[in-house]
Amino acid sequence: MLLAQLLISGIQTGLLYALTAAGFALIFGATRIFHFAHGAAYALAGYGFVFAVRAGWSWPLAALLATVLAVGFGLFMDAFVYRPIQRHTGSFFTVFVAAFGVVIVVQSGIEIGFGRAFVAVTSPLTRASAVLPGLYLARAFWIALAAAGVLFGALGLFLARTRTGIALRALAENPDLLRAYGLSARRLSALAFALGSALAVPGAVLGAATTGLSPSVASHVMLVSLAASVVGGIGSLRGAAAGGLVLGIAENLVVSVLDTQWSEAAGFVVLFAFILFRPRGIFGAALAR
């Protein structure tokens, strides 16, 4: 029963990781920018939500504020950090260092504003009820499941059926041809950043309402989305989602064998193994070495 319980909580964590990682993959797929600061969008959304709830806002309004913060951050990074850098060098390391710098700024800003300790909003969502003897399910699980189902379904439809969605996929495949067809690569990349950052919101809001947030969540989420994308295959949305699910489950299942301190490291052992033995991931196409 313990195993089933761990599996359930693994799926809950994994679904939220999957959404966040899919946001990262969407941005990378469309713009070829390794958005290392994706975790900062998550942190901003989560802390914005906590702030709003504490100020007495209703939950939907607070979630809206979280979305606005995440999307605004994504657009800011695109317009004021990545684009100026790509104008002169475009070396990936320059992009990485700049994004990492922004993560540090966000993280220490949160530390100054909210302190180093965990913050959370109290909610009835974590109250678990027994579905089977010894097996407990909290309402947060169903919300995570519903959010992941709805958002992945909507995203899939959007990318497959709408003109804008098809243009986004075209941007990933051939930006020059896209420009030749008279579409604006700049506007599409801004859209990718907005959508991708918004995908971090459900994880952030549910994280704030269940496990709580700490300032280091920005780097933790960044690592998780990177790891999920690599495990799944970089740039593949489906891969990132699968990778996120695998990581979430691995983190929780490892608790049945080892101490809880190892749960984060377990994800990275999986990641390390993938990089050594199958760098292109589960769904990845051929890798440019």
CA distances (Å), origin 104, targets 39, 119, 230: 11, 19, 23
Nearer to other proteins, 183 or 237 (CB): 237
**Residue 132 forms beta bridges with which residues?**
135
Region at 130 (left for phi over 0; alpha for psi -120 to 50; beta for the rest): beta
Nearer to other proteins, 205 or 227 (CB): 227
Residue 236 Cβ vs other proteins, minimum distance, rounded to whole Å: 14
Residue 89 Cβ vs other proteins, minimum distance, rounded to whole Å: 5
Residue 166 Cβ vs other proteins, minimum distance, rounded to whole Å: 26
Enumerate binding residues for other proteins (CB under 8 A).
34, 81, 84-85, 88-89, 91-105, 107-109, 111-112, 219, 223, 226-227, 230, 234, 259, 261-262, 264-265, 268-269, 271-272, 275-276, 279, 287, 289
Nearer to other proteins, 46 or 284 (CB): 284
- d(Cα 94, Cα 85) in Å, to the nearest integer? 7
Nearest Cα neighbor of 218 from 114, 75, 87 is: 114
Sign of CA dihedral 209, 191, 34, 275: positive
**Residue 136 forms beta bridges with which residues?**
130
Nearer to other proteins, 112 or 177 (CB): 112
Residue 112 Cβ vs other proteins, minimum distance, rounded to whole Å: 5
Residue with tokens 């959370």: 120
- d(Cα 133, Cα 141) in Å, to the nearest integer? 18
Residue 234 Cβ vs other proteins, minimum distance, rounded to whole Å: 8
Nearer to other proteins, 181 or 277 (CB): 277
